Copies of this chain bind each other. A is one copy, B any other.
């Protein structure tokens, strides 16, 4: 592998001269620079990332940590992050699983975006206290080195509940997310507020886990005890799809007639299931772009405030009016 030393030798100059020339410093003559560049090119020189990182103490890479690679969930988010980052000359690495976490303390990345509830708050605070810069998308964490870019879960859940109630529903199941999930908690909290301020609404909370299986389990329970039309607020679309699967394959109940589900996230699939799933929408891409922006500000020492991603209601034939 060719290093600046080799180039220096061939060009008959010092390594520092090569380094300056390569980095476009005006300390070096135009001619010398050109000559060195030519030689470097001809020798197929490529700087060694590790050496540069070691000296500069930064890698110009940032990591995004996801719970898993599954689901249709992340495509647009990642695209948003990547675009935001590339504009600033940073590269993105997408990580998942425990092993890759060491990239943070080992300084392989200059900062991280976290969307992975399997991280403990303490672990993240620990990183932050050691000087690592983080943007969290899935929790409320207060530290100068941590910035939050959170969904407006409360608005979303309120929107969903109000929609159901406006359509005349007074029996509402709510399928919860995972225990530790911040988004779940916020959404469920808003659900309870909505119920509290609306007399006459029966509300049943079912356990869930943000995956299809949870939606199916909830559907079974609901179908088993079915007596009259009910609305079902699944705290994400994935579970709503699971509910569709179960109801349509294992019962004679009709979605949009007996059961009126609404989801959260507006994943692509929701547009394709029959009938179209009502849900809460927001821009994944914007979320990602904003997160990357905030992280770069954090890294470059600029002041940052926490940010919020706004949501809207998407109506769907899965929810019909009760007359």
Contact = CB atoms under 8 A, between A and B. Distances in A.
B86 A99 contact: yes
A106 B68 contact: no
Contact of A100 (B59, B91, B106): B91
Contact of A103 (B49, B78, B268): B49
Nearest to A130: B44
A79 interface: yes
Given A95-B93, A105-B46, A130-B44, A72 B74 contact: no
Interface in A255-284: 268-269, 272-274
Interface string A81-108: 0100010000111111101101101111
A54 interface: yes
On chain A, which size bracket covers the interface?
35 or more
A101 to B, nearest CB: 10
A256 to B, nearest CB: 14
A215 to B, nearest CB: 13
A10 interface: no
A131 B69 CA distance: 30
Q: What copy number does this chain have within its complex? A: 2
A54 B59 CA distance: 13
B78 A69 contact: yes
Given A44-B130, A272-B272, A274-B274, A82 B106 contact: no
A205 interface: no
A97 B69 contact: no
Nearest to A45: B105
Contacts of A95: 91-94
B48 A69 contact: no
A168 interface: no
Interface string A44-87: 10111111011000010100000011111011101100100010
27 contacts: A1-B131, A46-B105, A48-B106, A48-B107, A49-B53, A49-B103, A49-B106, A49-B107, A50-B51, A50-B54, A50-B59, A69-B76, A69-B79, A69-B82, A69-B94, A70-B76, A72-B268, A82-B96, A82-B97, A91-B95, A91-B99, A92-B100, A93-B95, A94-B94, A268-B269, A269-B269, A272-B272
Interface of A: 1, 44, 46-51, 53-54, 59, 61, 68-72, 74-76, 78-79, 82, 86, 91-97, 99-100, 102-103, 105-108, 130-131, 241, 268-269, 272-274
Closest 3 CB pairs of A and B: A94-B94, A50-B53, A93-B93
Given A69-B79, A70-B79, 12 more contacts: A1-B131, A47-B106, A49-B50, A49-B107, A50-B50, A69-B74, A70-B75, A70-B76, A86-B99, A91-B100, A93-B95, A272-B273
